[in-house]
Amino acid sequence: GAGVSQTPSNKVTEKGKYVELRCDPISGHTALYWYRQSLGQGPEFLIYFQGTGAADDSGLPNDRFFAVRPEGSVSTLKIQRTERGDSAVYLCASSLESGAKQFFGPGTRLTVL
């Protein structure tokens, strides 16, 4: 596709459930980033991939959060035992290489009831 795509666009789940959020980066972009954005705040860094490997996962809030990028393209952010505090917009971005301008996807709005 022309830009970064994310699915689903909206996800409503119940407390305690497991969710998966998908990111499809721009073709050829080796770097992929996940951010979380709460209302009235800037994007908050979660994890960065260079190729297939997670180069930095220091932003993941706890071990309920995990992300993979097995083939160096599509990435999935996985959240176990969701909590109401996990509700936010989860943004994915990709760049041609690390440090280059990042192109953001439209985000997935996660609501945990």
Contact footprint for another protein (CB under 8 A)? 4, 31, 33, 40-45, 48, 50, 55-56, 58-59, 91, 95, 98-107
Shortest distance in whole angstroms from residue 111 CB to another protein? 15
Least distance (Å) from another protein to the CB of residue 31? Answer: 6
Closest CB to another protein among residues 5, 15: 5
Q: What is the rounded CA–CA span in Å between residue 90 and residue 70?
A: 20
For the beta carbon of residue 29, count every other beta carbon within 10 angstroms: 18
CB nearer to another protein: pick between 8 and 16: 8
Radius of gyration of the chain (CA): 13
87-90: list long-range contacts, CB under 8 Å, 24+ apart: 87/111, 87/112, 88/36, 88/37, 88/38, 89/36, 89/37, 89/38, 90/6, 90/21, 90/34, 90/35, 90/36, 90/37
Distance in Å, CB of 75 to another protein, minimum: 15
* Cβ distance to another protein smaller for residue 82 or 95: 95
For another protein, the closer of residues 36 and 86 by Cβ is 36
- Least Å distance between CB 92 and another protein? 9
